[in-house]
Amino acid sequence: MTGPQEAATRVVHLRRGGTSVVLRLDPEVLPCVLHWGSDLGDVRASELDGLLLAARLPESDSVMYRQEAVSILPQHSTGWLGRPGLLGSRDGTAWSVAFEHVTHRVDEAGTDGWPDGPDGAARLVSIGTDHACKLLVTTELRLLASGLVALRATVTNEGADRYEVNHLEPALPVPDAAQELLDMTGAHAHERVPQRHRFEAGQWMREAWGGRPGHDSATVLCAGTEGFGFRRGTVWGVHLGWSGNQVLSAERHTAGWRLLRGGERLLPDEGTIAPGTSYSSPWLYGSWGRGLDEFSARFHEYLRARPQHPTSPRPVVLNTWEAVYFDHDLPKLLELAEAAAALGVERFVLDDGWFHARRDDTAGLGDWHVDEDVWPDGLNPLVDRVHALGMEFGLWVEPEMVNLDSDLARAHPDWVLQTEHGPGLPARHQHVLDLGNPDAFAHVVDLISGLVKQYGVAYLKWDHNRPLVDAGHARTGRPSVHAQTAATYRMMAELKDRHDGLEIESCCAGGGRLDLGIMEYADRVWVSDCIDAHELHRLLRWTGLTLPRELLGTHVGAPTDHTTGRRLSLDFRAGSALFGHFGVEWDLTAAESGELDQLRTWIDRYKQERTLLHTGTVVNADLDVPGLELTGVVARDRGEALYRLSALEHTVTTPPGRLQLPGLDPDRLYLVTCAATTHAPDGVGVRPTMPWAREGVRMTGRLLEQVGVQAPALPVDALVLIRATAI
């Protein structure tokens, strides 16, 4: 560890997980990144000094037009003419931040237990002092064992009066080779739709103002070489680990700099800090890769190395929602539980409709008491039977929300988030409960905790169906999105502290909240309220840019999807769900015996494959045939792999050509076989006729990735599983 830096500029080189970050450290400026990306190897100090010299710009009469270095928190006072990283004021003054001195400390030991793996994180902490503005500004950059960068900034008020932070947005630069941007858009039940465009001059900004990232969340903001894909090109990108209002942006400045940045979107007064207190931005995570597969692998490796990451086999789930909706009839639910257990289901989740006055979505939310009219003996008859059948019991809750038609809202109208104009517009007939109010927080956490204890609940499906608009404290009128987000984190943490082993699923009307902030507390996400297997292909592929497959809830629905009306074969539905955390959301009591036998086969297959699927490396091929998708998971030792080839559109070529299998050891010999086939929607079996599929073929990993095997011709919405086993 080095002490406070000398007065001279110097360069440091951080290395972890195939990533190098080279930073310029100046005595009066926060750190400036000179390189972020490929590992540079062991670079001597003299070479680092040479890098500093090599990066110098030609002489100019104005630093404002030739920014030699831009810090990870850009400031106008250094001559930066783009968006400042920190903007705030002390009642209109102290709004231009400049530092008398900046100290830098490099820590290679990871001594504070940052959960990134056995070798710890490399960490750079820099503290800028502005005596005139009475501020300390701290930046912390961590290079984690996976090669993922984590960056945040903190403003500390050393004055005698309040200071208001308007925004605090750290930034990471990308090279000129980054010519194309990628992020996501979407809507409820249609999340994670990728979109691309040129990285032109100006700013591309993606904001979320609904108190959650939202169904149209950018999720990531990537910049890469032109035409980058999963296995081609080079890409850099950022993700914000925060579950409230937020922004991600890409800025290309005429001075030549290209920045990726992110932070919290603060409502008025939310960033105000009293004397002696601080405000910190959320963690901004940055990854890079030779293609999106390597980019996402750094996220997956980081998440899997955390101590709280689920490591037990992910149980087969049955959720009751699309089976019964609000119709909670005990005999029907008992029959459903029996059918589920007979198929090998391991976790039974009772969804919305079990609590007081909850016969539809217009009433009862917030009254977390079992409805005595529907459940005169409580949930015990169902729970006892579920446990006797060897399954865990899970329960749907929505602790952050309330119906105005509820005993809770009538007794405590001041616990509803609102403005001077009242609680505002409803969504799904509901409003938001002010968890920043200590009394409301205690009331809800105690009720939910009591249910968990009474019924031995192992799993909470935690929903969030209304965006946070008009979200103010009833008593003060002040905005409360930041406080609500922080309180949600605290409530999840407290419930898990009270109940060892309790797991939580983050559901936000589907996939509206699955950022790395909520994933500090959640063990699974509900990818979308749409479980159409055709749509699931897109959802898994693009949600998987940040989250590994064991965290992604994927369910087998009814033959005709409840959201889209699309009719799909059972093999296609199950084969699609196989590549996530597998579950069922279907009225099994209405299924035919042949369908149940078929589903049991897929459940058995999931149990056989889940260790590979939930520990291996996700790979995706860049296929040139429209509508043909190949994804797979390769074991960490590359001893085996399972791929899924799916036809999602009517392909323009029959047969569609050779299929390259990515991710294998180039020098090992593999036996490649067809592991499973599906049926088309009309029930006609898909039986690949290629000789290799019938007999198996032995090829090296190099040949399989560079030459490949002949792909089968598939009808639309059909798939084939392909296994590669090292021999």
- Predicted TM-score of the model (pTM): 0.96
First vs last Cα of the chain: how many Å apart? 47
Residue entry with tokens 């310029």: 24
Query: Comparing C-alpha atoms, which of 464, 459, 526 is closest to residue 499?
Result: 459
Contact criterion met (CB below 8 Å) for 94 and 132: yes
Longest dimension (CA), the chain: 83
Angle between helices 533-543 and 570-577 (to 10 degrees): 10
User: Residues 6 or more apart from 486 whose CB is under 8 A from it?
Assistant: 436
Residue type, 219: T
Distance in angstroms (rounded) separating the CA atoms of residues 5 and 3 = 6
Contact criterion met (CB below 8 Å) for 683 and 643: no
Query: Quick one: tokens of 222?
Result: 């990537």
Distance in angstroms (rounded) separating the CA atoms of residues 221 and 238 = 5
Across-strand partners of 289? 235
3 state SS of 455: helix
DSSP type of residue 197:
E
User: Residues 6 or more apart from 608 whose CB is under 8 A from it?
Assistant: none
3 state SS of 354: coil
Predicted confidence at residue 690, as pLDDT, reads: 78
Task: Tell me the domain boundaries of the chain.
Answer: 10-305, 346-525, 619-726
Distance in angstroms (rounded) separating the CA atoms of residues 346 and 584 = 11
Strands 149-157 and 135-143, by their bridges, are antiparallel
- Helix, strand, coil fractions of the chain, as percent rounded to 5: 20, 30, 45
| Active-site residue flag, 91 | no
Q: How many helices (H) and strands (E) does the chain have?
A: 13, 38
CATH of the domain spanning 346-525 = 3.20.20.70
Alpha helices in 125-215 (DSSP H): none
Across-strand partners of 632? 619, 643
Predicted confidence at residue 583, as pLDDT, reads: 98
Please state the separation of Cα 624 from the chain's center in Å. 28
| Active-site residue flag, 529 | yes
Residue entry with tokens 């909240």: 513
Query: Comparing C-alpha atoms, which of 544, 327, 368, 577 is closest to residue 460?
Result: 368
Distance in angstroms (rounded) separating the CA atoms of residues 109 and 411 = 53
Residue 655: cis peptide before it, omega within 30 degrees of 0: yes
3 state SS of 349: strand
Cα angle at 79 between 78 and 85, to 5 degrees?
A: 65
Out of 3.40.50.1000, 3.40.50.970, 2.70.98.60, 3.40.50.1370, select the CATH number for domain 10-305.
2.70.98.60
Query: Comparing C-alpha atoms, which of 431, 427, 440, 424 is closest to residue 403?
Result: 431
Residue entry with tokens 């409301």: 440
Predicted confidence at residue 6, as pLDDT, reads: 45
Across-strand partners of 644? 631, 721
Query: Comparing C-alpha atoms, which of 344, 343, 348, 346 is closest to residue 333?
Result: 348
Distance in angstroms (rounded) separating the CA atoms of residues 368 and 672 = 53
Contact criterion met (CB below 8 Å) for 532 and 568: yes
Query: Quick one: tokens of 433?
Result: 């409960």
Query: Quick one: tokens of 425?
Result: 């517009």
List 434, 529, 571, 717, catalytic entry: 529
Distance in angstroms (rounded) separating the CA atoms of residues 220 and 634 = 24
Phi, psi of 3 (to 5 degrees): -85, -165
Query: Quick one: tokens of 495?
Result: 């419930």
501 exposure class (CB count in 10 Å sphere: 0-12, 13-18, 19+)? exposed
Strands 457-462 and 503-506, by their bridges, are parallel
Contact criterion met (CB below 8 Å) for 641 and 576: no
3 state SS of 155: strand
Residues recorded for the chain? 727
Contact criterion met (CB below 8 Å) for 164 and 512: no
Predicted confidence at residue 47, as pLDDT, reads: 87
Top-tier CATH class for 619-726:
mainly beta
List 352, 463, 515, 717, catalytic entry: 463
Query: Quick one: tokens of 98?
Result: 């400049």
Phi, psi of 715 (to 5 degrees): -70, 165
Phi, psi of 347 (to 5 degrees): -140, 125
Please state the separation of Cα 505 from the chain's center in Å. 13
Query: Quick one: tokens of 613?
Result: 């699927």
Query: Comparing C-alpha atoms, which of 354, 356, 366 is closest to residue 396?
Result: 354
Contact criterion met (CB below 8 Å) for 142 and 149: yes
pLDDT profile of the chain (727 residues), mean per 10? 56 96 96 96 88 75 71 92 95 95 84 46 96 98 97 98 98 97 98 98 97 98 98 98 98 92 97 98 98 98 96 97 98 98 98 97 98 97 98 98 98 97 95 98 98 98 97 94 98 98 97 98 98 98 98 98 96 97 98 97 98 98 92 98 94 77 98 77 58 89 96 90 96
Query: Quick one: tokens of 214?
Result: 């939202």
Contact criterion met (CB below 8 Å) for 553 and 579: no
User: Residues 6 or more apart from 640 whose CB is under 8 A from it?
Assistant: 612, 634, 723, 724, 725, 726
Query: Quick one: tokens of 384?
Result: 């006892």
Query: Buried b / exposed e across 506-544, counting CB within 10 Å, b at 16+?
Result: bbbbbbbbbbbbbbbbbbbbbbbbbbbbbbbbbbbbbbb
Query: Comparing C-alpha atoms, which of 613, 651, 610 is closest to residue 629?
Result: 651
The H or E element that residue 608 is part of is helix 593-615
Across-strand partners of 727? none
How does DSSP assign 36-63, residue by residue?
EEE---S--HHHHHHHHHHTPPPP-S-T
Contact criterion met (CB below 8 Å) for 344 and 607: yes
